[in-house]
């Protein structure tokens, strides 16, 4: 006959409540119990000798295997992920009277069941105390695992930081290259504009020089023409004067004769 395990409600009790078809299982983890006991209030207590933050799957399986011996925990509870930590003293329990009553009232099968239960209690007590070294080893393994996980997390963080720095550097270099290309393009455009302006100025200067030369040539031609005209006029005047003088001389000669 299966024992009934009832839930406990208390403000000072932090427990996991596992609901089954026939009962609710409250598993309380402490560092003071040291054995598996069934009290008059049907409270199940088991000491795993370890801080709850380092509970392993093997310890959870051990806890639920003990509950299965009481026929109150189905196999589906063996995968429950977490247990809570509380501090609660262990009350003294005397089951001798109950065992005697059970021996008087029950048949041989019931006596065998009680003997099995008592044997389970002794085994559970032995496991709780003799497993300290195992629990310590498991704690060390858990601590080593946590340290390795922290190292892996640190490595991941370093890799992420390095990747971010590399990406930022590449982006900055690309932006600087683009800015340099834009500046060089602007310099080339300015130089082309200046060169074009210089060429235009040179063309203007050449045109002005040509115009000045042409004007000078025209001036020379004009001066030459004017000089020639003056010479012609002077020659004509001299010729006319000479002719008149000759005429006057001739007329005077004729008169005297």
- Does 233 have pLDDT greater than 70? yes
Instruction: Give the residue-averaged pLDDT of 36-62.
Output: 42
Q: How many CB atoms lie within 10 A of CB 168?
A: 10
Comparison of pLDDT for 199 and 72, the residue scoring more: 199
pLDDT at 8 exceeding the cut of 60: no
- Where is pLDDT greater, at 69 or 157? 157
Q: What integer is the mean pLDDT of 213-242?
A: 93
20 in helix, strand or coil?
A: coil
21 touches 60 (CB < 8 A): no
Q: With 50 as the cut, is the pLDDT of residue 74 above it?
A: no
User: What are the extents of the domains in the chain?
Assistant: 16-130, 147-235
**Residue 217 to residue 211: CA distance in whole angstroms:** 10
127-158 confidence digits (pLDDT tens): 343 444 445 556 666 666 677 778 888 888 89
Average the pLDDT over 72-94 and give the result: 39
The reported pLDDT for the residue numbered 14 is 35
The angle, 0 to 180 degrees and rounded to 10, between the axes of the packed helices 57-69 and 108-130 is 160
Distance CA 154, CA 3 (A): 50
Confidence of residue 225 (pLDDT cuts 50, 70, 90): very high
The rounded Cα 174 to chain-centroid distance in angstroms is 20
What is the band of 254 on the pLDDT scale with cuts at 50, 70, 90?
A: confident
d(CA 146, CA 144): 5
For residue 203, pLDDT over 80 is answered with: yes
Per-residue pLDDT band at 81 (split at 50, 70, 90): very low
Q: CA-based Rg of the chain, rounded to a whole angstrom?
A: 63
With contact defined as beta carbons under 8 Å apart, do 77 and 60 qualify?
no
Identify the residue with better confidence: 24 or 178. 178
Task: Identify the pLDDT of residue 124.
Answer: 41
Q: How far is CA 81 from the centre of its chain?
A: 31
User: Out of 20-29, 119-128, 197-206, which region has the weakest mean confidence (pLDDT)?
Assistant: 20-29
Rounded CA-CA distance 170/178 in Å is: 12
Pairing of strands 16-19, 44-46: unpaired
- Name the residue with higher pLDDT: 185 or 4: 185
Residue 129, pLDDT score: 39
Q: Does residue 29 sit in helix, strand or coil?
A: strand
8-state DSSP, 53: G
pLDDT band at 86 (very low <50, low <70, confident <90, very high): very low
With residues binned 3-state (H G I as helix, E B as strand, rest as coil), the percentages for the chain, rounded to 5, are 70, 5, 25
The backbone torsions φ and ψ at residue 58, rounded to the nearest 5 degrees and listed phi first, read -65, -40
pLDDT recorded at residue 63 = 56
pLDDT surpasses 50 at 199: yes
pLDDT over 80 at 255, yes or no: no
Tell me the two tokens of residue 107.
Answer: 């048949």
Is the model's pLDDT at 194 over the cut of 60?
A: yes
Q: Which of 31, 38, 14 is nearest to 91 (CA)?
A: 38
């Amino acid at each position: 006959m299966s024992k009934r395990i009832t839930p406990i409600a208390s403000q000072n009790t932090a427990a996991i409540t596992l609901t089954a078809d026939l009962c609710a299982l409250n598993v309380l983890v402490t560092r003071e119990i040291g054995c598996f006991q069934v009290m008059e209030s049907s409270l199940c207590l088991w000491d795993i000798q370890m801080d709850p933050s380092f509970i392993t799957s093997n310890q959870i399986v051990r806890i639920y295997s003990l509950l299965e011996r009481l026929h109150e925990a189905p196999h589906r509870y063996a995968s429950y992920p977490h247990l809570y930590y509380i501090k609660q003293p262990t009350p003294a329990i005397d089951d001798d009277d109950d065992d005697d009553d059970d021996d008087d009232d029950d048949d041989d099968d019931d006596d065998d069941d009680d003997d099995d239960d008592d044997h389970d209690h002794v085994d559970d007590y032995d496991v709780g105390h003799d497993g300290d070294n195992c629990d310590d080893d498991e704690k060390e393994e858990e601590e080593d695992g946590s340290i390795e996980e922290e190292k892996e997390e640190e490595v991941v963080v370093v890799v992420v930081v390095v990747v971010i720095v590399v990406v930022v550097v590449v982006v900055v270099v690309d932006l600087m290259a683009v800015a340099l290309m834009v500046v060089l393009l602007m310099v080339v455009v300015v130089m082309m504009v200046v060169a074009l302006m210089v060429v235009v100025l040179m063309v203007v200067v050449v045109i002005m020089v040509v115009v000045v030369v042409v004007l000078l040539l025209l001036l020379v031609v004009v001066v030459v023409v004017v000089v020639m005209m003056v010479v012609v006029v002077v020659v004509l005047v001299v010729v006319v004067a000479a002719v008149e003088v000759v005429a006057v001389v001739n007329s005077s000669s004729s008169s005297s004769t």
